[in-house]
């Protein structure tokens, strides 16, 4: 369940970053349509909620929250470094 939590957090932050027009232009070279951008933002938040559900289902409420926050931190760092690297 922790691996699923980490993968959902990575997918969530990747979708949220691609939902930002600046990152779309940096990574893809163009801005995506408004409807696609909104869909990426929704998918990102849903993935982060799924990550919380996976963490609490596997470890309980207290430790699940700790694992979830750790997964969010790790995923945010990976996505931030990846977007920075891809934008060069």
User: pLDDT per residue over 41-73, tens digit each?
Assistant: 999 999 999 999 999 998 889 999 999 999 999
Residue 75: Cβ within 10 Å count: 23
- The pLDDT tens digits of the residues spanning 23-33 come to 988 888 888 99
| 78-85, Cβ contacts within 8 angstroms, sequence gap of 24 or more | 78/10, 78/13, 79/10, 79/13, 79/14, 79/17, 80/17, 82/14, 83/17, 83/23, 83/26, 83/27
Is the pTM higher than 0.85? The answer reads: yes
**Residue 87: pLDDT band by 50, 70, 90 thresholds?**
confident
């Amino acid at each position: 369940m922790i691996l699923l939590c980490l993968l959902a957090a990575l997918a969530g932050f990747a979708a949220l970053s691609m939902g930002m027009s600046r990152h779309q232009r940096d990574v893809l070279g163009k801005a995506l349509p408004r409807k696609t951008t909104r869909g990426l933002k929704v998918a990102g938040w849903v993935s982060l909620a799924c990550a919380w559900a996976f963490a609490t289902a596997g470890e309980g409420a207290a430790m699940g929250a700790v694992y979830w926050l750790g997964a969010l931190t790790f995923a945010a760092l990976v996505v931030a470094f990846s977007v920075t690297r891809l934008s060069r």
